[in-house]
Amino acid sequence: MATDTGRSIIELGDTISRLTKKLQSACDEQSVPSPTVNDVGAASRKSLLEVDAAAALELADAIRELEIVAQHPRLNLGILALATLDASILGVIAEFDIAALVPLDGSITYSELAGKTGIDEDRLTRIVRYAIVNFIFREEPIGHVKHTLLSAHLTHSPNFNVFLQTISRVFAETNAAIPDALRRWPSTAAQNKTAHNIARATDATFYGWMDVNQPIREIFDKGMEGVSKEGQRLQDTDIRAYPWDKLPGNATVVDVGGSWGHVIKDLAELFPSYSFVIQDLPAVIKAAVLEWKKDGIRTDKLKNVGFSEHNFFDPQPVVGADVYYFRHVIHANPDKEAVAVLKAHLPALKPGARILVSEYIVPSNADAHNLASLENKPMRQMDMMALALCNSKERTKEEYASLFAQASPKLVLKNAYQVPDDPRSCVFEAVYEG
């Protein structure tokens, strides 16, 4: 069998040239100015991914391949090994809200920025110049900080900043402990024998530990909204992918592990005749109710939403709903716990009830054509975080079908809904054939 030797630099260059021309034509057709890296306005316009997802993803892959061969392995690997600093510096930017301090239509000097953050000028300059290497901010003229496409994105959502803080303060430490955890516990499925347990020197599971660390819990909950609205896997993907409008006019939808209800806020506006219930652990629901009161301008109009304090391992109290929706919930549970959660719902299910599981989809071996593709990276990152925090995983379609079948032979995976611009995201739909 022939070995794939990879593409030559000429082949890669030709591919890049062909795809950039294709994307420029698509931009012209859609009257979207094509972006440049310093184009602050591009952060609030359609991106190339939204203009032509397939071409943009293929282009990004060719560029990454060329970048590898343009360097030396010792440099490529060295940069990867120290990528934790990329995350930490993003964490500093989020912690001190530095992006919001830089004007979108002008510049700010290092000394002014230092004064506003309280970090001394030398340190602040070094931090920002580290970020500049990643195209986050730029300097023009020397000593004056301006926005780029990337830094401008950070100004759009305060909660996305909080999500970056969550990564640097909670997840980064945990991620760093993966080698140690695998050395100690190479094959356990216990949720309290994880990298998180080593990093935090605790026997508590991740959610158990957060329950007694409420300031961290609050950062995490705000971060869930931030990542869902501005981050890698958007709630909008679920709203577009799933045919919500085909549910009965008086449908009841339960968002299990719904956090502060950021997805339901959008769905409840779109479907005022449906009823929605946001379920989560007691401390989360108490905080969610307060948050909804603060957001009164928007939430006062939403009469179709209720809150419920509920542990999803206990029998589901909302009996006979049309949809039980689990977003970013099942992936935090190893198989035994995931099946237990699904089983706890069986007594509540009416015939035809749907269980929706919204997660990344891992390609099965038969579909795994290009494992190195960039489109896999956020899914692989989430998979490693699920391992680090909960000894859990992202799953293939077949693995989800098996979880449903283990919970009940009447719970049958029927559909997997997706949108073209996020091919690794999926809403899995199981129907109860009771």
Ligand X SMILES: C[S@@+](CC[C@H](N)C(=O)[O-])C[C@H]1O[C@@H](n2cnc3c(N)ncnc32)[C@H](O)[C@@H]1O
Binding site for ligand X (CB under 6 A): 207, 224, 228, 257-259, 280-281, 284, 311-313, 327-329
Shortest distance in whole angstroms from residue 324 CB to ligand X: 12
Here the tokens at position 240 are 């577009």
Q: How far is CA 173 from the centre of its chain?
A: 18
Question: What minimum distance in Å lies between the beta carbon of 277 and ligand X?
Answer: 13
* The token pair that represents 318 in the structure block: 């909302």
Q: In the complex, what is the shortest distance from the CB of residue 83 to ligand X, in angstroms, rounded to a whole number?
A: 23
CA pair distance 359, 199, nearest whole angstrom:
26
- Whose Cβ is closer to ligand X: residue 130's or residue 207's? 207
Residue 26 contacts residue 47 (beta carbons within 8 Å): no
Residue nearer to ligand X on the CB measure, 154 or 224: 224
* Cα-Cα-Cα-Cα dihedral sign, residues 183, 189, 193, 196: positive
Least separation in angstroms between residue 151's CB and ligand X is: 25
Residue 148 or 223: the one with the smaller Cβ distance to ligand X is: 223
Give 376-415 as a DSSP string.
GHHHHHHHHHHHHHHS---B-HHHHHHHHHHH-TTEEEEE
Q: Which pairs from 19-27 meet CB under 8 Å and 24+ separation?
A: 19/55, 19/58, 19/59, 19/62, 20/59, 22/52, 22/55, 23/48, 23/51, 23/52, 23/55, 23/56, 23/59, 26/51, 26/52, 26/55, 27/51
Give the integer Cα–Cα distance in Å for 190 and 180.
16
Residue 428 burial (10 A CB sphere; 0-12, 13-18, 19+): buried
Beta pairing partners, 395: 361
Shortest Å distance, C-beta 192 to ligand X: 14
Compare residues 89 and 332 and give the one whose CB is closer to ligand X: 332
In degrees and rounded to multiples of 5, residue 48 shows phi and psi of -60, -30
CB of 146 to ligand X, least distance (A): 33
Give the nearer residue to ligand X in terms of CB position, either 138 or 327: 327
- Residues 6 or more apart whose CB falls under 8 angstroms from that of 85 comprise 130
Point out the residue whose Cβ comes nearest to ligand X: 257
CA-closest candidate to residue 162, choices 205, 211, 104, 220: 220
Q: Does residue 330 contact residue 358 with C-beta atoms inside 8 Å?
A: no
Measured from the CB atom, the residue of 170 and 177 that comes closer to ligand X is: 170
Q: Minimum Å distance from CB 281 to ligand X?
A: 5
Q: How far is the CB of 39 from ligand X (least distance, A)?
A: 30
Q: Would you say 168 or 259 has its CB closer to ligand X?
A: 259
| CB-CB neighbours of 424 under 10 Å | 21
Computed over its alpha carbons, how large is the radius of gyration of the chain? 23
Q: Give me the least distance between CB of 227 and ligand X, in Å please.
A: 7
Task: Give the span between the Cα atoms of 143 and 96, in whole angstroms.
Answer: 19
- For ligand X, give the closer residue by CB, 24 or 311: 311
- Which of 78, 306 has the CB closer to ligand X? 306
Taking the least distance from each CB to ligand X, the nearer of 59 and 170 is: 170
Could you give the maximum distance between any two Cα atoms of the chain, in Å? 69
CB of 150 to ligand X, least distance (A): 23
